[in-house]
Amino acid sequence: MNRRQRYLSSSCWLSFFLITISFLSLLSACQEPSANGQSPAIRDTAITGQNAFSTLFFDSASLEKFLDERSMPDTARQLVRNFYNQRNYQFAWFDSTGVAEQALHFWNLQANYLEYSRDSSIYNPYLQAWADSVQANGMRTVPDSARERVEWQLTLQFFRYAAKAYMGDRQLNARDLNWYIPRKRVDILSMLDTLVKEKGKDINRYEPVNRQYALLRDQLKKYYEIQRLSSWTPLDITAKKLIRGDTGKAIIQLKNKLFLLGDLPVADSGNVFDESLELAIKKFQLRYGLKEDGIIGGSTLRELSQPLDYRIRQILVNIERIRWVPREPGSDYILVNIPEFKLHVYENGQYAHNMNVVVGTATNNTVIFTGNLKYVVFSPYWNVPPGILKKEVLPAIARDPSYLRRNNMEQYGNGQVRQKPGPQNSLGLVKFLFPNNFSIYLHDTPSKNLFKQDKRAFSHGCIRIAEPVWMATWLLRSDSSWTDAAIDKAMNAGKERFVTLKKEVPVFIGYFTAWVDREGRLNFRDDIYGHDKKMMGKMFN
């Protein structure tokens, strides 16, 4: 099967004549004015045949006619005009020798994207026919009469590709998918200009994507290879669990799966549950956030029994999410990954620390958003939220008049209730505020035992952290007055105290159920809020 057959869906041929309409739906909503062409660029008449990389130029009137033939928003038309204005209408994809290097580099880059994404929406049969002809007949294949049209189609195609590959599918409404982190913006005009100037070499250097994107993409290719070369059949296990020393046909199946996934380093066709298999299972369990006991059963068996197609879709969903997020900041920042139940700390852009967290239940989801951490609050009050007050506290008071006193609570204001500072306060001895519309923050907790659980979705939406003293010390480390003793005293003072940070720290609360860790291991986690399921329905329907 050739590339055209591989990538082309039956609807692509019908949509080819509307190719620029679909590409513009990606562009019109996602660019800054300087990037989407709303502001006209000044024509650079200093570029001439004597000083340009190519002696090939075209008439601006010909481009205008090409654009007029297509139904597209004015912003997209201006994007194309701006690109060629900056070049004084010099060809970008051709030179006097024929097809320029950057054209081939871009086409290979796009082919790689189409292969791993399996996304036929940007497939261009006109350009694919041209590319096939170049491959078969050489670099000077395009006659002069067709060169302009191929040139302009390639420019349009790059904008379509870049919008989809680097900013994600604009038909997926992030807010409808419970994602409130602002989506990344990319100046694709500048990106194309850089690609042409550098002749498409080392394009990975300036791909505007998160580091995790490339790591997940490589893992996705491995899963495609497993799918192509092997038979991923369900495990034939009738016993409730399998442990070291057991034998049987299921052990052979189990070893094969774990070898394909990379957890078992050497292929083994034996039917004995030996030490090497036990170690492989523990590696698997680590990657899935499960109890590392080396036993097959329960959650471990459930995860091993997932179809390969589901894992591929799970990776694709998370790759799409990564397209939405900005590049990693070079400053301090905090990242909470909800399905992982972990908080990660970065100092000057470098990984510094992680800790367990407790997040919201499936009923009380922790929201996916970003904010700036501004305050450390020692010995905090807990102001009972209206929902909890109505559903839990007021009924408890009605049943037991001593409820407030026993829980160190008091009424204040207009019937509101708060819990006084102290060791039994629901927020613990310190909280960390990044003001937001969702009333979500980081805080200590008296319920330390919950951090020992593998699955930690127990809160009403806020995020409980396992190491509050470490967090307070790290946030206040630039202030010499906040010694360990001073922090301990403030946490146990029994009197609320707000401390404003000298420099705000960005906090990202994300939702990633597949990622590659710092040791290069592919991790998966449960879709605890059903966000993957909803997104899969929209992406693969």
Within 10 angstroms of residue 118's Cβ, the number of other Cβ atoms is 15
Residue found by looking up tokens 């593998």 in the block: 454
List, in sequence order, every residue forming a beta bridge with 354; answer none if it has no partner: 344
Terminal CA-CA length for the chain: 25
The tokens describing 214, both together, are: 């490339």
Name the catalytic one among 30, 344, 462, 531.
462
- Integer angstrom CA distances of residue 289 from 23, 108, 204, 341, 354: 40, 37, 31, 9, 15
Cα atoms found within 13 Å of the Cα of residue 25, Cβ hemisphere only: 11
Burial of 51 from C-beta contacts in 10 A (0-12 / 13-18 / 19+) = exposed
- Helix H or strand E encompassing 104: helix 101-117
Parallel, antiparallel, or unpaired: how do β-strands 497-510 and 522-524 relate?
unpaired
Name the catalytic one among 353, 443, 460, 531.
443
The yes-or-no answer on residue 443 being catalytic is yes
Q: Is residue 188 helix, strand or coil?
A: helix
The letter for the amino acid at 58 is F
Q: Is residue 395 helix, strand or coil?
A: helix
CA 377 to CA 374: how far, in whole Å?
10
**Residue 166: closest CA among 39, 33, 26:** 26
Helix axes 144-167, 60-68, angle to 10 degrees: 60
Q: What is the set of active-site residues? A: 443, 462
